[in-house]
């Protein structure tokens, strides 16, 4: 049992290293394009669909990596796995900074699908669950995602400032060469953060004693896999993660929505994208603390409802052109639902009584299904936006988000009913 409201020094620095690593590793594959999507499309001469296909290359490799990464996390020290992942991810940035061709871009994203997932993701989740103990899972995962969100928001704001500073001119008059140079500087900046995260993991995350679990896994891995597969609550949790992750992929669209529909320039659109990041710390941390006093599943239901409400503002076109505060309010509401979900869905492992010893295996199976939006959401969003340029395309994108939110809501209700049925009287 661990009280995360007042962690000891060792736990505090361990959690800090997990937060830094957990966000840094996704800066190059996802955060860059999320903040600077219009610039990335222009500099690399991409359509929305082509960028979506690069995301699909990432997702396809990631799908094969999630499950095997879960097995690795149950056998090897998280510290070593995460350092390898961070360093190899940073290496991919060297090629990305050279403005790769469309084929090279897909190869890089496929490479990142392996480096960020196979040797990283399940190790991160297992370490976070261990820190949380038996009664602070909501706080543990809430602090992880909330801390990641605070870091992402800070980096987003700093990177927008650096981008604007590097341009040296008004963004409307900047040439393609000047935009390319500014984007390249941001890539190098993010690479530095990734390597810094690897150093912090090396010093602050203690090596795990996995020898006993490693020996056990060699004899029982097939049994553990079969045990996890036979749990309906694991499959329901996978559906919840899938629906929540569809919504998270939708955040890639906020800056482009401001650019296409409300006439914002590159910097202003990036500021809208970074504003969404600032809702993440409060949503994840507060949601996690409330979940520990109620149930994680209850807060997930509430979060899906908030997400549906926020998406409706875009779907039904209730934001008048030029009404800045209303655009911010809509992005804020949708983001609160999205980031509260991200901070909570793996806290369901404890509520569902998944044994700690097979956490990696369970996370691997859940992630294989839950993160399939990495494969299909990029192309789907790109197709919808390219087929219906302007506001209509964005309405279609958030219509998809709302439909999945409704499915996730129903899956969570079913999970709560099933857990009540298996609770000891």
Residue ranges of alpha helices (H) inside 230-371 are 232-250, 254-261, 266-293, 296-315, 324-342, 348-351, 359-370
**414: burial class by Cβ within 10 Å (0-12, 13-18, 19+)?**
middle
Domain 9-422 has CATH 1.10.8.420: no
What is the predicted pLDDT for the residue at 212?
46
In order, the DSSP letters of 137-202 are HHHHHHHHHHHHHHHHHHHHHHHHHHHHHHH-S-GGG--HHHHHHHHHHHHHHHHHHHHHHHHHHH
Q: How far apart are CA 388 and CA 48, in angstroms?
A: 12
Cα–Cα distance, 102 to 250 (Å, whole number): 23
Alpha helices in 388-423 (DSSP H): 391-422
Query: Radius of gyration (Cα) for the chain, nearest Å?
Result: 21
Tokens at residue 302, please?
């509430």
d(CA 326, CA 400): 22
Tell me how far the alpha carbon of residue 323 is from its chain's centroid: 29
In whole angstroms, what is the distance from residue 407 CA to residue 365 CA? 19
Residues 6+ apart with CB under 8 A from 210: 75, 76, 77
Question: In a 3-state reduction of DSSP, which class is residue 219?
Answer: helix
Residues 6 or more apart whose CB falls under 8 angstroms from that of 72 comprise 81, 118, 119, 122, 123, 360
Tokens of 205: 């995350």
Tell me the domain boundaries of the chain.
Answer: 9-422
At residue 5, the pLDDT reads: 46
What's the confidence (pLDDT) of residue 188?
95
The CA-atom distances, in angstroms, between 230 and each of 141, 213, 421 are: 25, 22, 16
Q: Ramachandran region of residue 27, left (φ > 0), alpha (ψ -120 to 50) or beta?
A: alpha
Paired tokens of 123: 């190790």
Secondary structure class of 50 (helix, strand, coil): helix
Cβ atoms of 92 and 112 closer than 8 Å = yes
Angle at 76 between CA 24 and CA 59, to 5 degrees: 45
For residue 407, which of 374, 369, 380 has the smallest C-alpha distance?
A: 369
Residues in the chain: 425
Contacts of 214 (CB under 8 A, 6+ apart): 75, 76
Rounded CA-CA distance 97/210 in Å is: 38
- pLDDT per residue of the chain (425 residues) written in tens, 0 to 9: 445 544 455 677 888 899 999 999 999 998 888 788 888 899 999 988 898 889 889 988 988 898 888 888 878 888 899 999 999 999 999 889 888 899 999 999 999 999 999 999 888 988 887 776 555 666 677 788 788 878 877 888 899 888 888 887 676 677 888 888 889 999 999 999 999 999 999 998 877 645 445 545 455 566 767 777 878 888 999 999 999 999 998 888 888 888 888 878 877 887 787 778 788 888 888 888 887 787 888 899 999 999 999 898 888 887 777 777 788 888 888 989 998 898 788 888 878 877 777 777 788 889 889 988 888 888 898 899 889 888 899 999 999 999 999 999 999 999 988 888 765 43
237 contacts 223 by C-beta, under 8 angstroms: no
Secondary structure class of 93 (helix, strand, coil): helix
Query: How far apart are the C-alpha atoms of 357 and 335, rounded to whole Å?
Result: 33
Rounded Cα gap, residues 54 and 374, in angstroms: 10
DSSP state, 30? I
pLDDT value at position 91?
Answer: 94
CA 228 to chain centre: 24
Distance separating alpha carbons of residues 291 and 293, to the nearest angstrom: 5
Q: What is the DSSP string of 195-225?
A: HHHHHHHHHHSPPP--HHHHHHHHHHHHHHH
**Angle value at C-alpha 275, between 137 and 395, nearest 5 degrees:** 95
Contact at 8 Å (CB) between 18 and 79? no
What per-residue confidence (pLDDT) applies to 220?
Answer: 59
């Amino acid at each position: 049992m661990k009280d995360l409201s007042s962690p000891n020094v060792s736990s505090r620095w361990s959690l800090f290293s997990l937060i830094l690593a957990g966000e840094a590793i996704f800066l190059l594959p996802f955060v860059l394009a999320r903040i600077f999507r219009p610039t990335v499309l222009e500099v690399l001469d991409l359509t929305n669909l082509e960028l979506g296909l690069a995301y699909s290359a990432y997702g396809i490799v990631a799908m094969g990596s999630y499950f095997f990464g879960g097995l690795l996390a149950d056998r090897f020290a998280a510290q070593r796995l995460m350092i390898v992942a961070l360093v190899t991810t940073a290496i991919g940035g060297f090629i990305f900074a050279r403005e790769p061709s469309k084929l090279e871009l897909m190869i890089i994203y496929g490479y990142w699908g392996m480096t960020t997932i196979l040797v990283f993701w399940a190790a991160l989740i297992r370490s976070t669950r261990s820190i949380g103990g038996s009664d602070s899972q909501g706080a543990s995962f809430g602090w992880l995602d909330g801390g990641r969100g605070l870091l992402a928001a800070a980096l987003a704001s700093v990177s927008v400032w650096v981008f604007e500073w590097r341009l040296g001119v008004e963004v409307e008059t900047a040439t393609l060469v000047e935009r390319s140079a500014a984007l390249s500087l941001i890539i190098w900046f993010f690479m530095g953060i990734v390597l810094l995260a690897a150093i912090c993991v090396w010093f602050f995350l203690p090596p795990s004693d996995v020898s006993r679990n490693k020996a056990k896994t060699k004899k029982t891995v097939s049994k553990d896999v079969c045990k996890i597969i036979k749990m309906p609550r694991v499959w329901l949790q996978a559906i919840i993660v899938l629906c929540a992750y569809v919504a998270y992929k939708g955040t890639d669209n906020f800056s482009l929505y401001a650019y296409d529909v409300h006439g914002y320039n590159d910097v202003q659109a990036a500021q809208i994208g970074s504003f969404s990041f600032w809702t993440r710390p409060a949503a994840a941390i507060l949601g996690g603390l409330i979940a520990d006093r109620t149930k994680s599943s209850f807060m997930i239901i509430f979060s899906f409802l908030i997400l549906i409400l926020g998406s409706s503002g875009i779907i039904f076109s209730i934001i008048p052109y030029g009404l800045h505060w209303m655009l911010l309010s809509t992005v804020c509401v949708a983001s609160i639902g999205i980031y509260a979900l991200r901070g909570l869905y793996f806290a369901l492992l404890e509520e569902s009584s998944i044994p700690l010893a097979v956490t990696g295996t369970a996370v691997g199976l859940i992630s294989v299904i839950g993160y399939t939006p990495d494969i299909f959401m990029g192309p789907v969003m790109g197709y919808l936006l390219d087929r219906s340029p302007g506001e209509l395309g964005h309405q279609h994108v958030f219509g998809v988000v709302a439909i999945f939110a409704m499915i996730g809501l129903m899956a969570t209700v079913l999970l709560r009913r099933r857990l009540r049925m298996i609770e000891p009287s």
